[in-house]
A and B are shown apart, each in its own frame.
Chain A
Amino acid sequence: MSTRNSFARTGVAAFALAATVTLAACSSGTSDPAASESSAPAASEGVDLAGSTVTMTVPVTESGDSPYVLISDAYMAEFPDRTIELQELPGDSYAQSVRTQLQAGNASDIIYVTPGGGNPQALQPFAASGFLAPLDGTGAEDTIPDSSRSLFEVDGVLYGQGLDLTVVSAVVNAGVMAEDGVEMPATYDEMLGLCGDIAADGKSLFVVAGTAVPNTGLTSMAVAASRVYAPEPDWNDKRAAGEVTFAESEGWLDTLNALIEMNDSGCFQEGVEGGDFGTITVGLGQGTSYAAFIPSGAAFQLATETGGTFTVDAMPGLTEDTTLIYASINNALALTADAENAEAAQAFLDWLAQSENLVTYANDSGNLPLGPITADDLPEAYQPVAQYIVDQNYAVLPNQAWTNGEVYNALGMGVQGLFTGQTTPEDVLAAMDAAWDK
């Protein structure tokens, strides 16, 4: 592979990674998969949909094939007399564009949303303002597990339909690791020792985009898994009830101190505080770093773009028993209240909720299909975390249940401040508490 092609590919992949990470990290839907084998009866059964056209607005996929395009094509191939018109918007301005369209009354029939209410494209504020149509009694019911349903509801009414399951943990360049004879350590202490050895060879175990809040946030949440959410799976509920705070949490304090310790031990690349998404793509793609904390779909994209072997692995916990990964429904669709082609749009959503179509979609997105899954069903990239997924031994991405996006922003910004020495773990946690109450 020529250097030129390599740069081109990594550049393209960087955009894809940035878009994926941004959307995934900001998302606020959640939890384990629960799609059933069969879909609910279509709400639009008996209606003649020949010649119908459904409009759908989704974030653009910067590289590779868009899963939204592929699944729309599959639908139109099965129903040649129906049309899906896609409007792809840039990821960084997606939320603002959709908000404007909803306010102006010219939104598409179906829009991409994220569960919960903690970010600008989250479905709950849209639904609370009357811009979304209820999906109770439709195929959407089958895509949402009970444990996550509250993030798709407003006042007990369902407004979103899940698309796939995103695993958030470490994406590893397994090919380069194997070449270098390095194995992912099992515990945090083992990892610290390994970091020094790897750094001595001019590489790093992890690459982090220190300037990008979505990535520093994901990194810190990965470290928090065994310190906060393994011992107290209901920590977020307690925080919502006011029983605990970030500032008083030993687990969170330990998490931020661990990040400082990891940086001091050479676990991150040199100049981590100045890294961006391009740094991650180049670091992983060229093998100067072995792993990064990014959504699992990025492993699929990186493998496609660079031709390497990428896997999804767990961040080493304090002990092997407390090692934990996150897996959540981060991507969803919603039907707009003023949809011009509501029946045709509902027919498409019902078709998409069928288990075989969810599998098709997941194969296109690089994430996992919703519903029961066995180890044999898992793609090769997920084998290192297969047991966690099959046993459903994972937690939902914590920020999805936080009150607003500013809490996550305070965490992500704070981690960069820790790397530069501008702030302390105590101040970061206090800022997260202050943001929680806004």
Chain B
Amino acid sequence: MTIKKPTAESAPPAAPHQPRPAESRAQRRFHAGDYGSWWWALPALAMVFCIHYLATAFGGYYSFTDWNGLGPATWVGIDNFVAIFNDPQMAGAVRNTLVIAIVFVVVANVIGLLFALALNRTLKSRYLLRVLLFAPVVLSSLAVSYVFRFIFAQEGALNALLEAVGLESWQRTWLADPTWAIVAIMTVLIWQNVGLTMVIYLAGLATVPQEQEEAAAVDGASMWQRFRHVVMPGIQPAVAIATTLTLVNGLRVFDQVMAMTGGGPFGATDTLATVVYRETFAFGRFGYGAALSLTLTFFVVVAAGFQLYITRRKH
């Protein structure tokens, strides 16, 4: 159905000015929509302030203390942050976090975009395939990770499959291998989130006019040229959303690591989030953990801001 926008010519003539019927003071106050609109939101705003911002501010305060989760906290200045940057294990955690985030952003978005392009229009079974590809997104990441933990185990399905096809030499303890453990984690992360990026790109592709693609094809543009010069500019907003979401999720990855490796072997898959958990809840170093959390937040904000800046500039 097409809705015709009214033009100056087609618009009905404006009615001559007529005096408004008399209203009581209370009615006038009620009609003044700009009056009630903000304070009605006050309870929600107060709760958001208390739950999100005030709690975060308290966390920020504790990052400058040596609080152990019990009793009073002692102010220690920037000692926690100095300790973070002097801890050799933190370098590994930061490196792992960045590697996971970057690989996750690139691979999840490329595969998601390819699926979106493949399932956008022509394929008859596209609706069923979209559902199947999106299904992992709605599963619990912890449950998925535990399933994959069994798959990657020494006596798990992957090694059994390799043995069945005569590739015994490829068998290994995947989650305890310093090289392959992080690959296994990234595989699970990507497998579970490709459906999400696919849906975002499908939404973006729906905004690209089919006529433009057809016109470009008639003009002799190749498939790559049509994608590069017609489709990509049209889905730039989707690219910005998908890459930012995956970047943030990649930087704060926790469930998959804790469920599959616990950060091991020997810290080979430790991330900032897992170190925050261990220092805070396993060792009771709440002040240090709060400082780590603040550092992780800083990472995420800077990376997400940079990501948005890049995508906006392209747009």
Contacts and interface: CB of A to CB of B under 8 A. Distances in A.
Interface stretch (A218-226, A342-350, A409-417): A409-417
A417 B176 CA distance: 10
A409 B282 CA distance: 10
Interface stretch (B66-74, B108-116, B207-215): B66-74
A60 B177 CA distance: 33
B265 A125 contact: no
B284 interface: yes
B173 interface: yes
B199 interface: no
B254 to A, nearest CB: 15
B70 A102 contact: yes
A271 B173 contact: yes
B283 A404 contact: yes
Given A120-B284, A273-B173, A405-B282, A125 B264 contact: no
Interface in B137-184: 153-154, 173-178
Interface of A: 95-96, 99, 102-103, 120, 125-126, 128-131, 210-211, 270-271, 273-275, 279, 404-406, 409, 413-414, 416-417, 419-420, 422-423
B281 A416 contact: no
Interface of B: 68-71, 153-154, 173-178, 261-262, 264-268, 278, 281-284
A211 B261 contact: yes
Given A274-B177, A416-B265, 15 more contacts: A120-B281, A120-B283, A120-B284, A130-B71, A210-B176, A210-B265, A211-B261, A271-B154, A274-B153, A275-B154, A405-B283, A413-B267, A417-B267, A420-B266, A423-B266
B284 A270 contact: no
A204 B103 CA distance: 39
- Chain A residues touching B, majority SS: helix
B86 to A, nearest CB: 11
B88 to A, nearest CB: 9
B176 A96 contact: no
- Chain B residues touching A, majority SS: loop
18 contacts: A96-B69, A99-B69, A99-B284, A120-B284, A125-B68, A131-B70, A211-B264, A273-B265, A274-B154, A274-B177, A404-B283, A406-B283, A413-B264, A413-B266, A420-B176, A420-B177, A420-B266, A422-B178
Task: With a 10 A CB-CB cut-off, give which of A99, A103, A420 has the most chain B CB atoms.
Answer: A420
A275 B262 CA distance: 13
A274 B264 CA distance: 10
Contacts of A275: 154
A436 to B, nearest CB: 13
A22 to B, nearest CB: 11
A125 B70 contact: yes
A395 to B, nearest CB: 25
A92 to B, nearest CB: 9
- Rank and list the top 8 A-B pairs by shortest CB-CB distance, nearest first: A417-B266, A274-B173, A274-B176, A129-B71, A271-B154, A273-B176, A129-B70, A271-B173
A128 B68 CA distance: 12
Contacts of A120: 69, 281-284
Given A120-B283, A274-B154, A406-B283, A416 B70 contact: no
A397 to B, nearest CB: 18
B142 to A, nearest CB: 13
B265 to A, nearest CB: 5
Contact of A274 (B175, B278, B283): B175
A211 B267 CA distance: 11
A276 to B, nearest CB: 8
A414 B267 CA distance: 10
